[in-house]
């Protein structure tokens, strides 16, 4: 009998100025998900105003200023743990992660302690610099964690809550997701993967991939004590 299902799972969704995407994202979330934890990381566009207030599954948490994705993930994950859910799914608010496949991620938690939504790195489906960034960072994280990680930058992940507290990120910035994988690998946790589509829209214009790559390498190799 499967222990993990949508009925005991919480979604953790950080957002920063994603007002235009949040209503559609919410409408696509499976109805049987037990909890939906939104974290407003200091938005200035009124994003929180479009979060429904009449759904008992919703928790809306807020940072008074923009603290970074790692800080928002940590806030949401702690809420999932404190609320007694058995599993946590993290996904981005900008529709890069289709909510419809949440049940597939949850189901794989019956076989693995952590599940990563892994995209197919092809130049036909992804921008060149994004492919390069993923290849470089995934190689580094694989080496650091001792596990083969195909998509270290994917934020679409599932965690069993009985191990989540051990790998909570200390980083406030985008390094947090890599930090969690390194911690999971060094604890020899069972990591699984689920193929997911590579979706890119307006979000690509926000990212300078060269800066991300070099910033990532500097922080991973030279700065972070836990890495």
Average pLDDT rounded to a whole number, residues 21-43: 97
Domains of the chain: 6-223 (3.90.550.10)
| Structure confidence at residue 203 as a pLDDT band (50, 70, 90) | very low
pLDDT tens, position by position, 85-131? 999 999 999 998 999 999 999 999 999 999 999 987 665 566 666 67
Average pLDDT rounded to a whole number, residues 163-182: 93
Residues near 136 by Cβ (< 8 Å), separated by ≥ 6?
213, 217
CB contact at 8 A, 173 and 69: yes
Half-sphere exposure of residue 50: CA atoms within 13 angstroms, side-chain side: 18
pLDDT at position 140: 87
pLDDT at position 208: 52
Q: What does the alpha-carbon distance between residue 184 and residue 169 come to, in Å, rounded to a whole number?
A: 11
Judged on CB neighbours under 10 Å (0-12, 13-18, 19+), 48 is: middle
pLDDT tens, position by position, 136-151? 888 888 988 999 999 8
């Amino acid at each position: 009998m499967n222990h993990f299902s949508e009925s005991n799972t919480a979604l953790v969704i950080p957002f920063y100025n994603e007002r235009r995407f949040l209503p559609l994202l919410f409408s696509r979330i499976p109805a049987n998900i037990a909890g939906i934890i939104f974290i407003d990381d200091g938005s200035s566009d009124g994003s929180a105003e479009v979060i429904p207030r009449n759904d008992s599954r919703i928790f809306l948490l807020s940072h008074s200023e923009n603290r970074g994705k790692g800080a928002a993930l940590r806030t949401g994950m702690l809420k999932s743990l404190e609320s007694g859910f058995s599993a946590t799914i993290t996904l981005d608010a900008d529709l890069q992660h289709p909510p419809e496949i949440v049940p597939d991620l949850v189901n794989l938690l019956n076989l693995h302690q952590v599940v990563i939504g892994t995209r197919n790195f092809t130049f036909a489906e992804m921008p060149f610099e994004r492919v390069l960034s993923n290849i470089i960072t995934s190689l580094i994280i694989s080496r650091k964690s001792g596990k083969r990680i195909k998509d270290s930058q994917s934020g679409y992940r599932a965690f069993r809550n009985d191990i989540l507290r051990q790998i909570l990120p200390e980083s406030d910035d985008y390094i947090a997701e890599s930090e969690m994988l390194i911690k999971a690998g060094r604890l020899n946790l069972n990591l699984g993967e689920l193929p997911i589509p590579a979706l890119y829209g307006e979000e690509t214009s926000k990212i300078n991939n060269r800066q991300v790559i070099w910033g990532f390498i500097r922080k991973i190799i030279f700065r972070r004590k836990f890495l």
